Amino acid sequence: DAGVIQSPRHEVTEMGQEVTLRCKPISGHNSLFWYRQTMMRGLELLIYFNNNVPIDDSGMPEDRFSAKMPNASFSTLKIQPSEPRDSAVYFCASSLGPGPEAFFGQGTRLTVV
Amino acid sequence: DQQVKQNSPSLSVQEGRISILNCDYTNSMFDYFLWYKKYPAEGPTFLISISSIKDKNEDGRFTVFLNKSAKHLSLHIVPSQPGDSAVYFCAASAGGATNKLIFGTGTLLAVQP
């Protein structure tokens, strides 16, 4: 398996634009997570899906952020409109259980100018 | 509120010596703890874990110790190698129906040759 695949690897956008980050989890995994890495907060959980259903979105910073998982092999994280403070590395991870070990993608580095 | 804390942003160790990375947590519901390693421009990779029913878990050069009464865990790397230089994240899970991981802010380990 190729592991968790994220695209794009890098995204530079202007403030106010819509940004969509994409993730393909490991085949067969039933949980998917979106994390954001910043210096101040480390790896911050944004949202968590189980069997394609959002379970916990308490980490989503505000209504500008939304995430979907239309099927078991694809998820998106959308920011609309984007702001400079959204600049960070966004990671997608998936897991199978029963243990909580999660496997991470290589991340998307987002820069909002 | 940071439920998982890594109070040392960085650590420098000589090659061959022991590296000790520390982590504290506040949520007594956490019952599974993990360490992840992250190289620049890559996603975090799982390193070692420990269940709350144990106080030690060893895997080669890596040992994790858990002190539940102090809500503290540590990762020991012996002997340290230059290739161990990376950011190390501590993570915790409350288990049950959810297997989401809560991460600390990370510790940058530099192993000097």
Q: Measured in whole angstroms, how far is the alpha carbon of residue A48 from the centre of its chain?
A: 9
Fill in the DSSP letter of residue A97: S
- What are B13-63's pLDDT values in tens digits? 999 999 999 999 999 999 999 999 999 999 999 999 999 999 999 999 999
- What are A14-46's pLDDT values in tens digits? 999 999 999 999 999 999 999 999 888 889 999
- What are B91-113's pLDDT values in tens digits? 999 876 567 889 999 999 999 99
For residue B99, list chain A residues with Cβ-Cβ distance below 8 A.
31, 95, 97-100, 102
For residue B102, list chain A residues with Cβ-Cβ distance below 8 A.
45
Q: Measured in whole angstroms, how far is the alpha carbon of residue A21 from the centre of its chain?
A: 7
For residue B105, list chain A residues with Cβ-Cβ distance below 8 A.
39-42
Tell whether the torsion through CA atoms of A21, A25, A29 and A34 is positive or negative. Answer: negative
- What are B58-103's pLDDT values in tens digits? 999 999 999 999 999 999 999 999 999 999 999 999 876 567 889 9
Q: A42 vs B106: CB contact, 8 Å cut-off?
A: yes
Tokens representing B63?
């040992």
Nearest CA in chain B to A90: B43
User: How far is Cα A103 from Cα A93, in angstroms, rounded to an integer?
Assistant: 5
Name the maximum alpha-carbon separation found in chain B: 45
Q: A104 vs B45: CB contact, 8 Å cut-off?
A: yes
Compute φ and ψ for A80, nearest 5 degrees. Answer: -150, 115
Q: B99 vs A99: CB contact, 8 Å cut-off?
A: yes
How far apart are the CA of B11 and the nearest CA of chain A, in angstroms? 16
- What are A49-58's pLDDT values in tens digits? 999 999 989 9
